[in-house]
Amino acid sequence: MRVFQRADQAQVIEARLREAVAELHHKLGGAMCEVELVSYELRSSIAVIRVSGGCPDCEMTAGMLIQGIEAHLRRLVPELEGVRIDPVPESD
């Protein structure tokens, strides 16, 4: 029974994280920064995200935006213990 409860809990938290990421797209407005939730690890309470692009107006890279992205996610999903960045695959 506990396995199902943990699975349900993970799905609920992941859904909330996906909503928070969608809200980021709106908040970033015209920025050419893409944020994608790759996965959520319930055991460690870590979200794995992929961030690419940057802000063409202020010349901030995606890497510079990561602290703000993490703060946003942790504010909306307080169960989150941290965020790990998954590198963007290199295009050929």
Could you report the average pLDDT of every consecutive run of 10 residues in the chain (92 residues)? 67 93 78 84 92 73 80 94 81 53
The answer to whether the beta carbons of residues 21 and 37 sit under 8 Å apart is yes
Separation of first and last alpha carbons in the chain:
46
Q: What does the pLDDT read at residue 75?
A: 95
List the chain domain ranges: 2-85
Q: What does the pLDDT read at residue 88?
A: 64
Q: Rounded distance, CA 32 to CA 4, Å?
A: 39
The answer to whether the beta carbons of residues 63 and 51 sit under 8 Å apart is yes
CATH, domain range 2-85:
3.30.300.130
Task: Provide the 3-class DSSP secondary structure of residue 46.
Answer: strand
